[in-house]
Amino acid sequence: MSSNGDGRKAGMVTGAQALWKALEVEGVRQVFGYPGGAILPVYDALRHSRIHHVLARHEQAATHMADGFARASGQVGVAVATSGPGATNMVTGIATAMLDSSPIVCITGQVHSKLIGSNAFQEVNITAVSKPITKRNFLVTDPTEVEPTIHEAFHVARSGRPGPVLVDIAKDAQAGKCMWQGLEASSQRSARRANGLPSNGDLRQALDLISQAERPLILAGHGIILSGAMRETRALAERAHIPVALTLLGLGAFPASHYLHLGMMGMHGEPWVNTAIQEADLVIALGMRFDDRVTGDPRQFAPLAKKIHVEIDPTEVNKNVKVDLPLLGDLREVLSALLPGVEPARHNEWLDYIHQIRESAGANDIQNLPEDGHLYAAHVIRDLWRETEGNAVVVTDVGQHQMWEAQYYKHEQPRSLVTSGGFGTMGFALPAAIGAKSARPDQEVWAVVGDGGLQMSTSELMTIVQENLKINIAVINNGHLGMVRQWQEMFFDKNYSYTPIMGPDFARLAEVYGVPGMTVAERGGVVPAIRAARECSGPMLIDFRVEKHDCVYPIVPAGAHLKQMIRRPAQLKQEAVESFDALMKGSKLRA
DSSP annotation of 96: H
Q: Amino acid letter at 166?
A: L
In Å, the largest CA–CA distance within the chain is 83
Contact 170, 113 (CB under 8 A): yes
DSSP annotation of 143: G
- The number of beta carbons lying within 10 Å of the beta carbon of residue 197 is 17
**Of 557, 484, 482, which is closest to residue 274 (Cα–Cα)?**
557
Q: Which residues participate in catalysis according to the annotation? A: 59, 121-122, 171, 483
Starting at the earlier edge strand, list the strands of the sheet with 471-477: 417-418, 393-396, 445-450, 471-477, 540-545, 517-520
Q: Amino acid letter at 216?
A: P
Which region, left, alpha or beta, applies to residue 228 given φ > 0 means left and ψ of -120 to 50 means alpha? Answer: left
Secondary structure class of 24 (helix, strand, coil): helix
Secondary structure class of 355 (helix, strand, coil): helix
The residues with which 138 forms a beta bridge, in sequence order, are 167
Residues 6+ apart with CB under 8 A from 431: 56, 60, 61, 62, 64, 65, 68, 457, 460, 463
Contact 219, 283 (CB under 8 A): yes
Q: Give the helix/strand (H/E) hosting 477.
A: strand 471-477
Q: Give the helix/strand (H/E) hosting 455.
A: none
- Convert 402-439 into a string of H (helix), E (strand) and C (coil): HHHHHHHCCCCCCCCEECCCCCCCCCCHHHHHHHHHHH
CA distance 519 to 141: 53
Cα 113 to the chain's mean position, in Å? 37
Contact 90, 63 (CB under 8 A): yes
CA distances from 427 to 7, 235, 340, 396 (A): 42, 38, 45, 9
Task: Tell me the HSE value of 13 on the side-chain side, using a 13 A CA sphere.
Answer: 26
- The number of beta carbons lying within 10 Å of the beta carbon of residue 371 is 10
CA distance 513 to 474: 16
CA distance 495 to 514: 39
